[in-house]
Amino acid sequence: MSDFINDFWNIYVVVLVIASLLFCAFIILSNKGARPSGTVELHGHQWDETLAEWNNPLPRWWVWLFWITIVFAIVYLIAYPGLGRFGGKLDWSSANAYSKEVKDADAKVAPLFERYAKMDLKQVAADPDARAMGERLYLNNCAQCHGTDARGSRGFPNLTDADWLYGGEPEAIKTTITGGRNAMMPPFAATLDGEQVRDVVQYVRSLSGLTGDNMRIQRGKDVFATNCAACHGADAHGNQIVGAPNLTDGVWLYGSTEAIVTQTVSRGRNGHMPAHGELLGDNKVHLVAAYVWGLSNTTAAK
C-alpha cells in the first residue's frame, strides 16, 4: 500500500476489509434467531422428487468458532499491516523482517567472510572451502544469466574460457561484479548501405577462419578500417577498456552466422551486466570473483 500515492486506494482497502468483517458478523447474527420448539423449517429446495434441505441452525460450537475467527482478524489488523497504510501497532513489515534475518545471518558468517577478504583473490580461489562458498553465491546470483555451468548462452558470456570482454584479471572481474557493465555496439544501418554491410560482415567472419566471398572480404576490410577499427582495433583484437570483443578468436557472443552478424552490424547490440556490489557487499563479491576467476584458471585455482 505504501506504493499507492492516491488516497482512494488506501480508503478502498480499509472499507473493503471492515465491510467484510461486518458482513461476516451480520451473517452469523441473522441466522441466530430462536425457533419455536419442535418447529421444522425447510429451505424450499427439492431434488429427486423427495430430497429436501433442512434449515437447521449451526451447532453452537461452530458459531463460536466463527466469532473467534472475527475477533482474531480484528486483533491481527490492530497488530499487523492489513488496513491500508496502517502499519500495525507492532510496526512489523516483511521488509524489516527480511533485513533483520539478513543482518543476523551476516553477523554469524562475517568472521569467515572477513578471513577470506584479507587474502589475495588467487589464494581464495585455491581454497576448496572458499570455492564452495563462491559457487553457492554464484548459483544464487549469476547462474540465471550465465548458466549453472557458467558457460553462458547467446548474449551472455562464457565464464569458463579465456575470452574476456573487460579483462580476466582478478581486479577486473571484481570491478565487473561490483559495478556491472553496460556494453553498446552502435547500429550502422544508417551509416552503411546494404552492400557495405554485407562486405564488412564477410570480412569480420573471415577474421576467425570462416569462409566467404573473397571480393567482399577485400572490400569489407576497408569498411572495417573506417567504421569499426576505432573500437575493435586495426587488428580486430578488441579493446577491453570499452568492452569491444576480439573478432579474431572464434568466440561469438551472439552467434557467427551471416544473418546474425548482419543483424549485429545493422541494428547494434546492447548488453547489460547488473551491479552486485550493493546487493552482495565487498566480502561476498571477493568470493564470487575468486570463483569466477578460477573457472578459467583451473590449474592455478587448485
pLDDT digits (tens, 9 = 90+) for 145-168: 999 999 999 999 999 998 999 999
Shortest CA distance to 32 belongs to which of 6, 67, 74, 80?
A: 67
Residue 106: its pLDDT value, please?
A: 80
Which residue, of 39, 63, 92, is where some domain finishes?
92
Taking only the tens place, the pLDDT of each residue in 166-224 is: 999 999 999 999 999 999 999 999 999 999 999 999 999 999 999 999 999 999 999 99
Specify whether the CB–CB gap between 177 and 277 falls below 8 A. Answer: yes
Q: Does 152 lie in the same domain as 282?
A: yes
Nearest to 197 by CA among 188, 209, 205, 206: 188
pLDDT in tens, the chain (302 residues): 455 567 888 899 999 999 999 999 998 888 775 555 556 577 677 777 778 777 777 788 988 999 999 999 999 999 999 888 888 899 888 888 888 898 888 888 888 888 899 999 999 999 999 999 999 999 999 999 999 999 999 999 999 998 999 999 999 999 999 999 999 999 999 999 999 999 999 999 999 999 999 999 999 999 999 999 999 999 999 999 999 999 999 999 999 999 999 999 999 999 999 999 999 999 999 999 999 999 999 766 55
**Residue 40 domain flag:** no
Please give the residue range of the domain that contains residue 218: 184-273
Percent of the residues in the chain that have a pLDDT greater than 70, as a whole number = 93
The pLDDT, as a whole number, for residue 8 is 87
Identity at 193, one-letter amino acid code: D
Answer yes or no: do 8 and 157 share one domain.
Answer: no
pLDDT reported for residue 39:
61
Asked whether residue 262 falls in the same domain as residue 119, the answer is: no
| Same domain? 19 vs 79 | yes
Same domain, 69 and 125: no
Residue 43 belongs to some domain of the structure: no
Q: Are residues 151 and 237 in the same domain?
A: no
Q: Are 278 and 176 part of one and the same domain?
A: yes
Name the nearest CA neighbour of 240 among 284, 299, 175. 175
Whole-number pLDDT of residue 87: 86
Same domain, 72 and 210: no
End-to-end C-alpha distance for the chain, whole angstroms:
51
**Whose CA is closest to 253, among 146, 140, 168, 139?**
146
**Do 208 and 125 belong to one domain?**
no
- The grid cell for 223 is 569498411
Residue 71 lies in a domain: yes
Per the structure, how many domains does the chain have?
3
